[in-house]
Amino acid sequence: MTINNNYLKILLVILTLFFTGPPSPADASLKEKDPSKDSGFLASQKASQAEKFLLIYYFDTNTDSAFKTSFDKQSRELKNKADTIRIDVKNPDESWLVDKFKVYNAPLPLVLVVAPNGAVTGSFMQSLPEDKLKSAIVSPATQQCLLAVQQRKLVFVCLQGKTTQNNDVALSGVQQFAKDPKYGKFTEIVVVDPSDKNETQLLSQLNANLKSSTATTILLSPNGQTIGKWEGATSKSDILKSLMSMKRSCGDPKCKDPVCPLPPAKKTIK
């Protein structure tokens, strides 16, 4: 079970391969440069404050006209939910959004869809089929989940509300885990009411049992993979067992990152 697994994997690969690059003067000075006159910064602030998405259109002199036509049409249809900003990647006066998302190596044209909370919910390069932008306008809980995994955090999706039982004990183990200094900064808790119709798509992606009368907790890894699921009470020890089942990615025997855990100790070692 995953949170929109194929979509999320593609999005994470894109973010890794194209939105990174060698250190540059622009990147190094992002925090030092006054962004108050940068149109990208101002658009980002305006959209966030209005709780709207931001459609960022990156282009250069060779931008495909068909892509632009499709973007203009789709963005007009979403004007009540999303603001639009066009960024010339070669214009130093519009560098803030280039630096923020590190799109130095990205093929152009490119569109990023950014949620009010700062999560990237969609990325479209070189072609833009009809209704693709609309598909990236996701629910509040999905925004929370995507931002957390993009920040390389563990995500506890707590499915509970007025229609579910055992809500307190279902949260108990999660809260104990999150309060531990070793894990708290790597942890995000997202509470979703199973009866919230706005979250239907997310609940479907998580394969949630909407008929269950018991609070359910789902643990997602930083790549969106489900690594734990509990109905009713949770405990810190059970959560740690689920973490230990994850495959270590860094190969460092001294790694203390809870989202990259060590394998179980050998029997000969106490």
Predicted pLDDT at 61: 80
Predicted pLDDT at 2: 52
Same domain, 159 and 208: yes
Give me the residue label for tokens 């979403």. Answer: 78
Q: Does pLDDT of 60 surpass 80?
A: yes
**Residue 159 domain flag:** yes
Counting every residue written for the chain, the total comes to 270
Residue 205 tokens, joined:
């992606």
Predicted pLDDT at 183: 93
| pLDDT above 90 as % of the chain | 67
Backbone angles phi, psi at 165, to 5 degrees: -105, 165
Secondary element (H or E) of residue 177:
helix 167-179
Q: Looking at residues 31-51, what average pLDDT do you find?
A: 88
**Separation between Cα atoms, residue 180 and residue 243, nearest integer Å:** 15
Which residue among 135, 159, 181 closes a domain?
135
Same domain, 94 and 169: no
Based on the number of CB atoms within 10 Å of its own CB, is 154 exposed (0-12), middle (13-18) or buried (19 or more)?
buried
Please report which confidence band the pLDDT of residue 10 belongs to, taking 50, 70 and 90 as the band edges. Answer: very low
Q: Does pLDDT of 155 surpass 50?
A: yes
Same domain, 83 and 175: no
Backbone angles phi, psi at 189, to 5 degrees: -110, 120
Predicted pLDDT at 252: 55
**Separation between Cα atoms, residue 79 and residue 77, nearest integer Å:** 6
Predicted pLDDT at 43: 96
- The predicted-structure confidence for 78-120, as pLDDT tens digits, reads as follows 999 999 999 999 999 999 999 999 998 888 999 999 999 999 9
Answer whether 121's CB lies under 8 Å from 79's CB: no
- The predicted-structure confidence for 227-268, as pLDDT tens digits, reads as follows 999 999 999 999 999 888 775 555 555 555 555 654 443 333
Residue 6 tokens, joined:
């194929």
**How does DSSP assign 37-58, residue by residue?**
T-HHHHHHHHHHHTT-EEEEEE
Predicted pLDDT at 59: 93
**Residue 259 domain flag:** no
**Separation between Cα atoms, residue 115 and residue 255, nearest integer Å:** 32
Residue 228 tokens, joined:
């734990």
Answer whether 176's CB lies under 8 Å from 233's CB: no
The alpha helices in 107-166, defined as continuous H runs, are: 132-135, 140-150
The one-character DSSP state at 73 is H
* Domain count of the fold of the chain: 2
* Helix, strand or coil, per DSSP, at residue 270: coil
Angle between helices 236-244 and 167-179 (to 10 degrees): 60
Same domain, 48 and 129: yes
Give me the residue label for tokens 């930083």. Answer: 222
Domain that residue 51 falls in: 5-135
Same domain, 21 and 119: yes
**Residue 252 domain flag:** no
Q: Does pLDDT of 225 surpass 80?
A: yes
**Separation between Cα atoms, residue 256 and residue 238, nearest integer Å:** 19
**Separation between Cα atoms, residue 74 and residue 134, nearest integer Å:** 8
Predicted pLDDT at 224: 85
Q: Starting at the edge strand that comes first in sequence, how are the strands of the sheet with 216-220 ordered?
A: 187-192, 154-159, 216-220, 226-231
Same domain, 147 and 86: no
- The predicted-structure confidence for 157-191, as pLDDT tens digits, reads as follows 999 999 999 999 999 999 999 999 999 999 999 99
Predicted pLDDT at 217: 98
Predicted pLDDT at 213: 94
**Residue 112 domain flag:** yes
Which residue among 135, 165, 189 closes a domain?
135
Same domain, 129 and 92: yes
Q: Looking at residues 33-62, what average pLDDT do you find?
A: 92
* Helix, strand or coil, per DSSP, at residue 102: coil
> Comparing C-alpha atoms, which of 135, 178, 138, 137 is closest to residue 156?
178
Query: Who's near 45: CB < 8 A, 6+ residues apart?
Result: none
Same domain, 172 and 123: no
Predicted pLDDT at 215: 97
Predicted pLDDT at 127: 87
Average pLDDT, the chain: 84
Domain containing residue 106: CATH number: 3.40.30.10
Predicted pLDDT at 223: 84
